[in-house]
Copies of this chain bind each other. A is one copy, B any other.
């Protein structure tokens, strides 16, 4: 998730009612403790596993209106034929590495001809999908930085040379364009290799025999997505953003426990967030690793809420109660901070106004509500439900770490918020949850009302079924929310519907050619981009990696 935009985020509404104050006995987490946590996180920084991979073939992008992103790749020749081609100024080739990889590129090239009497100027463009090497990046469109588009121009004074580009890229395709040589020589690429990086070391258990092919393919692509996002943190996207977000981390950690399992990496990430909150204790939505860890100045209330669930799931997966105990005060602090935004009506004060980039409330200034990228979504109901969900997770975590006393009043908060939610959001006539003054119906509201157990068990399945038939329902805009919708279905016993949704959504990406799952996928709008430029979308994105978890956790295979 990038942060330099104005889309899809919602202000936490100001409220004027009384705010619960922090309990007097609450310990303020000392700065020195925070620093130790960052040090602990740095001590857990993984060595990356490197492997070499060669390109598979030369290809050419061919415009194709029926292809999801407008281009398909036509195979031209085996990659071995590359060294048979002498490239002169103006010549270009596109290499296909066969699948999505994250890593470094090395190339060996030499000159041939009379003599090398000028430098060689080569442009390299990296694409996760065909469109990135088929369409020009410039003039740049959209509101994200041009610098995310992966291209380099290099000038080489002396050949032969073997060059390892110093930056890491995420790609399946590499376009090499010879911009300039001289009339007296051409260049020949002898060897091109990628050094692929990941911090995943374990191999996932195979799916049971007899698993449907489509599901097997979805599972493979999920795992590849996870693997390629597992670097020195769980990155959101190895092409773009390349950093750790709470929302993505939670889903990656779940997928990791089920497959590639790097528990230390989860622990590292949990400590990074814990060590770098803002002054009032609210966790940052993202942290940056380099040159040394620092927090991103982005605060997302639903992400802060879900940190507790992430710690709880870590403790359950690893049995590492020490870490959970250490981090418990951080989880508790998020709950207490969030509780300040509960209004006198018992409703969490997040408005449905999607027009503001960042907002201030007295309680939690400069914080957003995310839930999903959908710009039309009214987030009030979903955010309210996420707080309730998180309070429940916190109670569970308190039990694990023996801090039941800290959460003594949580059940009462949950009860009050549940009652308030039923008052504010439940449309008993339609059997569905709504949100905001327009009584908007959305997938997000139903999913989170189910997961938070605000919806009674008998209402949950009905509400989820009903939303699908509601014509104006705001659908999910990202795989991130699709995940929670599927999970809500599975929790409501809608196994067939969940499987259908996995098949149509993630299976749809596979059909559209995904080697790794995408940041954004709308089956009805192929060129959707939250950034006004489909080329800058991330095509290997952490929050898309969960089918492998859902399949294994819920025994769908």
Name A residues whose Cβ lies closer than 8 Å to a Cβ of B.
2-5, 89, 114-121, 140, 143-148, 152-153, 155, 157-160, 167-168, 179-184, 241-243, 288, 290-291, 294-298
Contacts and interface: CB of A to CB of B under 8 A. Distances in A.
Contacts of A143: 183
B167 A147 contact: no
Interface centre among A89, A155, A158, A295 (most CB of B within 10 A): A155
Contacts of A148: 118-119
Nearest to A145: B118
Nearest to A242: B157
A294 B297 CA distance: 57
Given A115-B296, A144-B182, 11 more contacts: A3-B117, A3-B184, A5-B183, A118-B144, A118-B148, A119-B145, A140-B180, A145-B181, A146-B180, A147-B155, A147-B180
Q: How many copies does the complex hold?
A: 2
Contact of A167 (B117, B157, B290): B157
A147 B160 contact: no
Contacts of A243: 117
Interface centre among A144, A181, A182 (most CB of B within 10 A): A182
Given A117-B296, A157-B167, A89 B291 contact: no
A402 to B, nearest CB: 37
Nearest to A291: B158
Contacts of A295: 115
26 contacts: A2-B118, A2-B182, A3-B184, A4-B184, A115-B288, A115-B295, A115-B298, A117-B243, A117-B296, A118-B144, A118-B145, A118-B147, A119-B148, A120-B147, A121-B145, A121-B146, A121-B147, A140-B180, A147-B180, A147-B181, A152-B153, A152-B155, A153-B153, A155-B167, A157-B290, A160-B291
A382 B230 CA distance: 71
Contacts of A179: 146-147
Contacts of A157: 167-168, 242, 290
B147 A288 contact: no
A342 to B, nearest CB: 28
A385 to B, nearest CB: 29
Given A146-B180, A153-B153, A291-B160, A118 B167 contact: no
Given A147-B181, A152-B155, A288 B4 contact: no
A2 B184 CA distance: 11
Ranked nearest first, the 10 interchain pairs of A and B with the lowest CB-CB distance are A118-B145, A146-B180, A119-B147, A4-B183, A121-B147, A147-B180, A158-B290, A4-B182, A145-B182, A114-B297
A118 B3 CA distance: 10
A4 B184 CA distance: 6
Nearest to A181: B145
A341 B184 CA distance: 27
A2 B294 CA distance: 52
B115 A294 contact: yes
A251 to B, nearest CB: 21
A114 B184 CA distance: 50
Nearest to A138: B179
A135 to B, nearest CB: 18
